[in-house]
Structure formats: structure tokens, C-alpha cells
Amino acid sequence: MAHDDLPSNETAHENLDGVKAYDGPAGGWGALRAVALAVRKQMGPSANARALLQMNQPDGFDCPGCAWPDPAHTSSFEFCENGAKAVTWEATAKRVDPDFFARHSVEELWGWSDHDLEDAGRLTHPLRHDPATGHFVPIEWDEAFARIGAAMQAMDHPDQMEFYASGRASNESAFLYQLMARSWGTNNFPDCSNMCHEATSVGLAQSIGVGKGTVTLEDFEHADAIFCIGHNPGTNHPRMLGTLREVSRRGAPIIVINPLRERGLERFQDPQQPVEMATLGATSLASAYHQVRVGGDMALLKGMMKALLAADAADIAAGGPGLLDRAFIAEHTTGFEALKADIEATTWDGIERRSGLSRAVIESMTQVYAAAERVIVCYGMGLTQHRNGTENVQQLTNLLLLRGNFGKPGAGICPLRGHSNVQGDRTVGITEIPTERFLSRLDAAFGITSPRKHGHNAVEAVAAMRDGTARGFIGLGGNLASAMPDPEATFAAFRKLDLNVQICTKLNRTCLLIAGESIILPCLGRTEADMQASGLQAVTVEDSMSMVHASRGRLKPAAESLRSEPAIVAGIAKAAMPHVAIDWQGMVDDYDRIRDKIEEVFPDFYDFNQRVRVKGGFRLRVCASNREWDTPEGKARFFVHPGTDEDEGKSDGPLTLATIRSHDQYNTTIYGLNDRYRGITGRRDVVFANADDLAALGLAHGDRIDVVAGPDRVLRAQTAVAYPISRGSVAAYYPEANCLIALNDHDHRSGTPAYKSVPVTLRAAQ
């Protein structure tokens, strides 16, 4: 199939510092230049790039960049610009040692930018905040553990502790961490998944019985069409571009649904293809690009189902077999009639208004969908981070179920996960809503009695801290305070705590929110050799497609004083719960013992230690991939949700703002100030808007503006950038724009903050 010629970002970007339309493809020489620069800036001029060459090799470490899988994990070096940035950021030659903290007080550091805090280098020593001087001071590991243990024991109730985890933690550290918290007596597990794909975990689990994607990498070779909804692979999962390139080259359509033109979905020059690089050739990716209104996906998905039902009826009337997979619907699903009635009652007027797309365009997408025997839908934060995130995921599932696009080669659902092991952390027990099946097995394996009461997710944890019902916080990685909405409320909540412990590699803002006792525990990163009593250890991770494999760091640790995450968790556990008879140290001495316990608790990990030693690892069972539905009815379920004329999820401001990532950031980690594919250089104070929307407000490209979400929620002194974005939609970078979002503005079903449906207005800067 011929790919339409897509226009480039051709807004007038003249004469504005650091804003100039980018005409090149994604990848290519720009990517190679960016890698060379990252290596030089972080690792020094004489750095060897050994670290990069070990990335995603069978006996090397798993790339900490994203959760996209590698071809069978046995392939040759898979190159990725943003993976290289993640690795060089960790393998940096810069250090923040005790001297650094003697020179800089917490008060001074608070004034530093997020970029400067992390760019200062790797943490080297355990630190404690000294209230007398306002500086962090080095302490011994044993003293750090003793202080944490004492502060935990001073709590009135185990539920006063919050145990946060970010998705970089390995299966082994995450499993020990949840064991520690449950032996302690709480299910308070706010985690980064709560801000990310919780709508997937909740929505898919209800619809198809498993909260995970159902496809494998191989399915992309067999799909007849791919839909990419609300994700930006050029920046956030760049290795996926290689997969999309193959799909495009064999002529299968790739339909993109995204309010912004994203170069990484349009054209790709593959740095691993010498001919493409030498000839400056590139492969077109999207065959059609539909700029939905921010928050308009629900209406669009309903529109596609409406068009499909109409086309199905017409086909049957003409004597055809129809376009629905009736045998699949009858054998494998429940709730079809209710869905059909809801879709039929939904008006095209509402669909067009809410989605910002015309009926004709929606019908054209539906034709591609219906003509394809096997369809994969990929999606990311553009679908989940809304007040109706779970409903979005379930409508998408409805659309796939209508044509039996589950459990056959080349078809299924593909959530693009965030952190490299966020899915694995969930699998091994980081969850605030554990099942009884899991808890009883955990209790039997360790002779403990886990609490049954459900715990806090991320939003609930911060609310509990704000309200004083939570008094202690431990963060296994991440930077929760900066990642959450409403910094004013969130920062104040952290400052009320009696205990704030951060287990991390680099200094960030959450470390600087001073509690009664504030402790920073520096840990090994994934690239570094982890030596324990039984020798060099490997850890395991699970990617977006449920593949579990080993990861072994090889680099010399940034400092001799660093400890591994499992060792740190064990240290805290022993100090806080000297009476609990769990052999923490035995498990730290040899991670095989942790894996044996994971296997004992989760039967799907049978023969864990053997299978993970096989090149490429193994895939965990995903029941829906085999048309087995782990739901109460034993069937997949159609869900009905309001979504076009009703109020829920509707924005009341004239514009809806989505917060997004630049090309030079990893969540709250800001590598640099460029956003190459969107044409931004050296700045982050930009707001992307449609030129017609700006004009309607009496504003123009280049104006200094304020973004207003409410009387107390204003993002000041930004620069308006006229950008190819759908009418009614604006976009700005996170974390800066988090001040526009209220803490309680989230999806009720999953608790996912509505980071991408913020009603706003724009005005000239005041």
C-alpha cells in the first residue's frame, strides 16, 4: 500500500530563539550526534563506550530506558539514542560526595533546576539531614538503618508508612521490598504505575482478565494493520521504530491517532541501516495521521464502533457475512447487546464535536480496521492519563473484541509500558490491591500474616501525608514529589513527615523535602556490577510483552560505598523488624534464593532460575493471548461507558492541555533543554498551540503567555509556539506544568492523575 505523503511541521517559526521547525526524519545522524554528545558530557572525552555496547546483550544489562522488548534478546546490538542517554546519565563520571554537601545547603540546592540537581552526578554515601546546619552529612550504613528502624518503630500503626516504588527496580528488589512492607504490616504501595498504566491494569483486567498487553514482538510480523494511539515512540520507546519500519516496509498500514504531529511517527532513518544512513533515505511510518482533540479518544473509539456496526449491517443486508466476528463474540464474550445499544444511541454530532474529527475521517479509519484480518493497537499515556483513562482502555478493548482481535497471531492489544521494569514490579507483588490468592501464598512461603486491608495508591498516599494519617515515606527509586500533580500540596505533604527515605542513584527534589528524619541511601544502578557473598549477581526484569530475562551489570560501581537495592531493603527490614524471622541476609547473599521464593509465591515463574539462564529468557503466561479469560464469567467483557454527550471526562475550559515529555528528558530527569523533533532548542518554557486557537484569543506565535487552569493554578511567562496540533488542544512539558493540575483530578476507577486533560485558558503574560 502506498503511504500518503505527509506534510512536515510547516508552521512559521521565524525569529524566535530556539524555535525552528525540524525537517529531518527521526533517528538518523541527529541521533548519532546526540549520543556522541551525551557520552562526552557525562563520561568525559576519554570514555570508552563499553557500557553502551553491553546494553541489551544476552549477558549484559537490560536498557534502563524503556520497556520495549528486544528481538528474542539474542540479537546484535540494538542501538537507541535515548537508551544511550539513560546509560550515560547513570555511568557519568560526575559525583556528589560528602564534600559537595558540605559546600551546598539544602536551602541552596532547592533553588537548583531539576536538570542541575541530577547533572551534579552520582550519589556516593548514605546521608542524613542535619537540622542544626541545614546540610546533608555522611553517615555509616548501620547508623542509617538504625535511624530508619527507630523512626518506623515510633509510628502508632503500620499504615502510617508509605512504600513507594518506581519501575526501574528489578523483580528481585521489588519482591523483597513488598515482603518488607507486608511483614511490617501495610499494603500502602504507591508506585509509578499509578501515574502511568494503572488504567490498563484496572481496565484490561476487568475486560479480558489480565492487566497486561497480549501481543509479542513476533505478532508485528503478522499484523495486517497497526493503530498507534497516544504514544510517542520516537522519544519514549525508540527501539519500537525499528519494528514499525518493518511493518511499513511490508506495506501494512499504520494509523496514527495523536493531537500533535510527532516526527517519530512520521519518518524514520534507521541508524542500524547503513544504506539508509549513507543515502539519507528514510522510511515513512504513518500511512494516515489523525489529529484527534486532546481527550477526544473516547468519542473517536465510539465513532469507529458506530461506523463498524453500520458497515456490518449494510454488509449483511447485501447478503454478506457481516464485519463482526460473530462466532468469537458468541463463544468468548458477554455484554455485546448492551454495548451495541449504547453505540447506536450515540450521535455523530457528539462524536464529531468531542473528537474533533469528522464522520468521514472516522469512517475511513474504520475501513482500514475492518479490512484487516489481524490488528494490533498500541497505546500510551495519551489514552490513560485522563479522567476517563480506564474507560478509554475498555472502549479500545471493545473495538478489538468486535472483530475477535485477541488470541490470534498478528492481533491484540499493546500498551506501551513506561519504566523498564514497571510491569515486572507489579507482577511480583508491588500493588496496593493484592488478591487473596497471592497473599495466602506469600504468607505460606515466609510464615508471616500479611495485612488484608487494601492500601494507598500514589494519589491516596500523598493525600494521607497531607492529612497527617501517613507519617513515613520510603522511595525505592523515583522522584514522587516532582512526578505528582500539584507541587504546592505535594511538597507541603512531604514536609510534614516524620521520616523521608530515598533510595536512589541521583539527587532529586524529593530528597530535598526535609522531614523530621531525612535520609538518602545511594544504590547501584543497573549498569554496575553487583557483587554479593556468592559472587556477581544478575537480576531479572519483565518487558512490555511479558518476556522475563536476566540483566547483569558489569561496570565498576560509581563508589565503593554503594549498596544494591536488595541489600538496602534487607538492611532496613532487619533494623525495623528484628523480631521477624525471615532470612533477609541469605537472600541478599545469593539472588537465586529470592527467585526461588518468587517461584514459590507465583507459580507462573516455575523453574525460574533455570529458565532465566536460557538466552532470551521466557514469556510469562498471558491468559488472554490464548483466549482464556480470567474473569468472573470466564469470558471477555464488553463494557459500556458514557463519553460524548455526558459530562464525565468533559473539559469545561475552552482548551484542553496535555502535559508531555521532551526528547531530552526521562520523566523528571531532564537530560538537556532540547526537544529536537519538535524543533525546540535550549529551552523548555514553551506551550504548543494551534495557530487558529492563538488567533482566536488575540495571541500569536512567540507571545509571552500565562496558562491558566484556575485562580491559583497558573503557569506563568511561557512562550506560545504555533504548532501542528489539533484545534482546542495545547501541550506543555511536565514536570513544569504540574502546577496546573489538582491532586484530586484523576480517573476515579484507577486513580491515574489526569495529566492529559487539563482545562485551561491562555492569556498574555501578566
Residue 169's nearest CA partner among 462, 671, 566 is 566
* Cβ at position 508, least distance to ligand MGD in Å: 4
**476 interacts with, out of Mo ion, ligand MGD, none, CB within 5 to 8 A per kind:** ligand MGD
Residue 649's nearest CA partner among 243, 230, 350 is 350
Q: Does 389 bind Mo ion (CB under 5 A)?
A: no
Let me know: does 762 contact 694? Beta carbons within 8 Å. yes
Let me know: does 729 contact 709? Beta carbons within 8 Å. no
Region binding ligand MGD by CB under 6 A among candidate stretches 288-296, 309-317, 340-348, 696-704: 288-296
Region binding Mo ion by CB under 5 A among candidate stretches 189-197, 292-300, 437-445, 489-497: 189-197
The alpha carbon of residue 248 and the mean position of all alpha carbons in its chain are separated, in whole angstroms, by 25
Grid coordinates belonging to 358: 469528522
Bridge partners of residue 257, in order along the sequence: 229, 290
Q: Does 668 bind ligand MGD (CB under 6 A)?
A: yes
In this complex, which beta carbon is closest to Mo ion, that of residue 418 or of residue 451? 418
Region binding ligand MGD by CB under 6 A among candidate stretches 289-297, 319-327, 358-366, 609-617: 289-297
Residue 261's nearest CA partner among 448, 65, 11, 610 is 11
What is the Cα gyration radius of the chain?
25
**297 interacts with, out of ligand MGD, Mo ion, none, CB within 5 to 8 A per kind:** ligand MGD
Region binding Mo ion by CB under 5 A among candidate stretches 13-21, 35-43, 410-418, 686-694: 410-418
In this complex, which beta carbon is closest to ligand MGD, that of residue 259 or of residue 410? 259
* Cβ at position 723, least distance to Mo ion in Å: 24
Cell 528474542 belongs to 72
* Cβ at position 342, least distance to ligand MGD in Å: 21
Say how far apart CA 529 and CA 470 lie, in whole Å.
36
Say how far apart CA 754 and CA 658 lie, in whole Å.
9
**477 interacts with, out of ligand MGD, Mo ion, none, CB within 5 to 8 A per kind:** ligand MGD
For CA atoms 757, 762, 765, 766, the dihedral sign is: negative
Residue type, 415: P
Among 214, 283, 669, 690, binds ligand MGD (CB under 6 A): 669
**625 interacts with, out of Mo ion, ligand MGD, none, CB within 5 to 8 A per kind:** none
**565 interacts with, out of ligand MGD, Mo ion, none, CB within 5 to 8 A per kind:** ligand MGD
Let me know: does 165 contact 177? Beta carbons within 8 Å. yes
Bridge partners of residue 720, in order along the sequence: 687
Site for ligand MGD in 97-126 (CB under 6 A): 118
Q: Does 260 bind ligand MGD (CB under 6 A)?
A: yes
Q: Does 213 bind ligand MGD (CB under 6 A)?
A: no
In this complex, which beta carbon is closest to ligand MGD, that of residue 92 or of residue 333? 92
**333 interacts with, out of Mo ion, ligand MGD, none, CB within 5 to 8 A per kind:** none
In this complex, which beta carbon is closest to ligand MGD, that of residue 259 or of residue 702? 259
Q: Does 726 bind ligand MGD (CB under 6 A)?
A: no
* Cβ at position 195, least distance to ligand MGD in Å: 4
The Cβ of residue 246 has, within 10 Å, a number of other Cβ atoms equal to 14
Q: Does 477 bind ligand MGD (CB under 6 A)?
A: yes
Site for ligand MGD in 555-614 (CB under 6 A): 565
Region binding ligand MGD by CB under 6 A among candidate stretches 395-403, 439-447, 498-506, 630-638: 498-506
Site for ligand MGD in 44-83 (CB under 6 A): 65-66, 82
* Cis, bond preceding 485 (omega within 30 deg of 0): no
* Cβ at position 521, least distance to ligand MGD in Å: 8
Let me know: does 718 contact 686? Beta carbons within 8 Å. yes
Q: Does 292 bind ligand MGD (CB under 6 A)?
A: yes
Helix residue ranges, H only, 562-665? 565-576, 584-589, 591-601, 608-611
Q: Does 480 bind Mo ion (CB under 5 A)?
A: no
Q: Does 660 bind Mo ion (CB under 5 A)?
A: no
* Cβ at position 64, least distance to Mo ion in Å: 13
Region binding ligand MGD by CB under 6 A among candidate stretches 355-363, 367-375, 394-402, 662-670: 662-670
3-state percent helix, strand, coil for the chain, nearest multiple of 5: 40, 20, 45
Region binding ligand MGD by CB under 6 A among candidate stretches 72-80, 202-210, 293-301, 586-594: 293-301
Q: Does 232 bind ligand MGD (CB under 6 A)?
A: yes
Residue nearest to Mo ion (CB): 418
Residue type, 614: V
- Total binding residues toward Mo ion, as defined by CB under 5 A: 2
Among 161, 174, 176, 195, binds ligand MGD (CB under 6 A): 195
Let me know: does 539 contact 64? Beta carbons within 8 Å. no
Say how far apart CA 64 and CA 77 lie, in whole Å.
15
Bridge partners of residue 228, in order along the sequence: 256, 378
With both helix axes pointing from N to C terminus, report the angle between 141-153 and 565-576 in degrees, rounded to the nearest 10: 50
* Cβ at position 485, least distance to ligand MGD in Å: 7
Site for ligand MGD in 360-389 (CB under 6 A): 380-382, 385
Say how far apart CA 682 and CA 676 lie, in whole Å.
10
Let me know: does 66 contact 236? Beta carbons within 8 Å. yes
- Total binding residues toward ligand MGD, as defined by CB under 6 A: 61
**490 interacts with, out of ligand MGD, Mo ion, none, CB within 5 to 8 A per kind:** none
Helix residue ranges, H only, 114-271? 114-119, 141-153, 171-184, 198-208, 219-222, 233-236, 240-249
Residue type, 18: G
Say how far apart CA 320 and CA 316 lie, in whole Å.
5
SS3 668: coil
In this complex, which beta carbon is closest to ligand MGD, that of residue 227 or of residue 618? 227
The alpha carbon of residue 164 and the mean position of all alpha carbons in its chain are separated, in whole angstroms, by 15
Say how far apart CA 130 and CA 551 lie, in whole Å.
37
**429 interacts with, out of ligand MGD, Mo ion, none, CB within 5 to 8 A per kind:** none
Residue 630's nearest CA partner among 10, 164, 212 is 212
Q: Does 262 bind ligand MGD (CB under 6 A)?
A: yes
Strands 267-269 and 26-27: parallel
In this complex, which beta carbon is closest to ligand MGD, that of residue 224 or of residue 565? 565
Q: Does 697 bind Mo ion (CB under 5 A)?
A: no
Q: Does 418 bind Mo ion (CB under 5 A)?
A: yes
Among 26, 109, 120, 196, binds Mo ion (CB under 5 A): 196
Q: Does 410 bind Mo ion (CB under 5 A)?
A: no
SS3 321: coil
Say how far apart CA 231 and CA 660 lie, in whole Å.
10
DSSP secondary-structure letter at 194? Answer: G
Grid coordinates belonging to 269: 532513518
Let me know: does 629 contact 635? Beta carbons within 8 Å. yes
Q: Does 234 bind ligand MGD (CB under 6 A)?
A: no
In this complex, which beta carbon is closest to Mo ion, that of residue 423 or of residue 726? 423
Among 31, 52, 523, 760, binds ligand MGD (CB under 6 A): 523
Among 84, 483, 512, 754, binds ligand MGD (CB under 6 A): 483
Binding residues for Mo ion, per CB under 5 A? 196, 418
Binding residues for ligand MGD, per CB under 6 A? 65-66, 82, 118, 166, 168, 192, 195-196, 229-232, 235-237, 257-260, 262, 292, 294-295, 297, 380-382, 385, 416, 418-419, 476-480, 483, 503-506, 508, 523, 525-526, 565, 658-661, 665-669, 734, 737-738, 755-756
